[in-house]
Structure 1
């Protein structure tokens, strides 16, 4: 499912991007909540970017304890951007694995 980022919908101005709206290819709006941040200073982050990990609001884990997570880049100018490189995807996957062990 291809999704578009809607940067206009934030939960509050104090904590931007805690809740976002993603629009799927059929035009349906879905709310996603921020699960965690991967900062620029995070171990192994050679990309110099901050990443936010989102899951659908009210998500439930499957029988294996997993859920769909959508990672995005939080840009320095306050926007959300999509991850496009394989290296960044691999880094995000590694960070999710490490966080799930805790």
Structure 2
């Protein structure tokens, strides 16, 4: 999972020929901290299907605004600059895998 810093451009990391999973979170968000190892684990198991990018909304406010993030944690599945699906809130690993399997 790639951690995007404020100096980096999200467009440079979003896959141009496949899926990208964007994980919007914040350091002060308890559910985000719970989701971090879940997303990391699922992302490593499914790395052949999409790349995963973690964005801290406080460090990357422009990216959060661009994608209309109003709540964290938010997972967004993007393909060819189009939002294919969005999941808001913490979910268990099985539910996250099912959600991704249905969409990729």
Using structure 1 for the length normalisation, give the TM-score: 0.28
Q: Which has the higher helix share?
A: 2
Q: Which has the higher strand share?
A: 1
The structure number with the bigger radius of gyration is 1
